[in-house]
Amino acid sequence: MKTKKKSRKWLKITGGILLILLVAGGAYAFTVYNSLKGAVETMHQPIERKQSEKREKPVAFKEKDPFSVLMLGVDERKGDRGRSDTIIVLTVNPNNNSVKMLSIPRDTRTEIVGKGKEDKINHAYAFGGVPMAMDTVENFLDIPIDYYMQVNMEGFQDIVDAVGGVTVRNDLDFTSDGFHFAKKELTLNGEKALAYTRMRYEDPRGDFGRQTRQRQIIQAVIKEGASISSITNFSDIFTAIGKNVKTNLTFDQLIDIQKNYQTVGTNIQQMEIKETGTKINKIYYGLVSAEEKQKIQSELKAQLELN
């Protein structure tokens, strides 16, 4: 239970690392190209799912169409599909040069598409895998979910270590998982980055403070991954990604993203859903008001340039 809780919290910071590394990178040397190709071949896993009815035509990366990606952080166990304890929707728009990152709390109560009932949104993956999770999130947000990336819960540490660690400016003195984090600039490896981001209860800012640290780690990984000094480490970076990520994006599509969406990774905007916690039949749920849902949906539709 402790490991699952630990993984659930810190995995939120993976919210676009693979995508951002790919779109922020530009054109690289032949050896890096081959490393990327090998990683994509390892992680490519298509799914059987019809094109969303919320799109008139498929996304065309060469035309720089805005698109969405569902990030699922999954605790994979032997003989058990598990649940997507981290759910993040990325909407990418090269025309306004931004990525909007929306974290959906796992206890959010909504209709589970394909089951005909309301339940916690993270149960969709347990019931029907990636396709049902995509359909459920699509219905909840009323936007097309074009692609998915499923991240192994243990994967983020490998990615942080692959870029050689990250440097952050810590503004709160605290201890988490046996590590002390002084109020100063810190250099963190994967294990320490996990502990740094998962602390919440000692922070007077609560979730806001934790999300701030998550954002720091994301930006630090992007900085390290895109730096000249990290070019020689791209083999390790892509190997770590290949082992821990599954996606229906193809190699050719990722190359098109590199060519046409190079700068969007420098402008990541966090979005949050306001919920009211309640118990129904002794089970805790997060309820989203109609007004809050409409607000979120409108912002995402604008980001995807949907009528």
Say what the pTM is. Answer: 0.77
DSSP three-state, residue 70: strand
Position 268 in a domain:
yes
What CATH number is attached to the domain comprising 92? 3.30.420.590
Position 204 in a domain:
no
DSSP three-state, residue 277: strand
For 71, 94, 97, 248, 280, the CA distances from 260, given in Å and listed in that order, are 21, 8, 11, 19, 47
- The answer to whether residues 120 and 285 touch, using CB atoms and an 8 Å cutoff, is yes
Per-position pLDDT tens, the chain of length 307: 555 555 555 454 455 555 655 555 444 445 666 767 777 788 889 998 888 889 988 999 999 999 999 988 776 655 555 667 678 899 999 999 999 988 888 889 999 999 989 999 999 999 999 999 999 999 999 999 999 988 776 667 888 888 889 999 999 999 988 999 999 999 999 889 888 877 867 888 765 577 678 767 767 876 776 665 555 566 777 788 788 788 999 888 988 887 888 788 778 888 889 889 899 999 999 999 999 999 999 999 999 999 7
What's the pLDDT at 68? Answer: 97
Count of domains for the chain: 1
As a three-state string, the secondary structure of 188-247 is ECHHHHHHHHHCCCCCCCCHHHHHHHHHHHHHHHHHHHHCHHHHHHHHHHHHHHHHHEEE
Position 59 in a domain:
yes
- The answer to whether residues 13 and 217 touch, using CB atoms and an 8 Å cutoff, is yes
Position 16 in a domain:
yes
Q: Residue 280 sits in which domain range?
A: 2-163+228-303
Position 262 in a domain:
yes
Position 123 in a domain:
yes
- The answer to whether residues 124 and 138 touch, using CB atoms and an 8 Å cutoff, is no
Position 199 in a domain:
no
Residues 6+ apart with CB under 8 A from 2: none
Position 246 in a domain:
yes
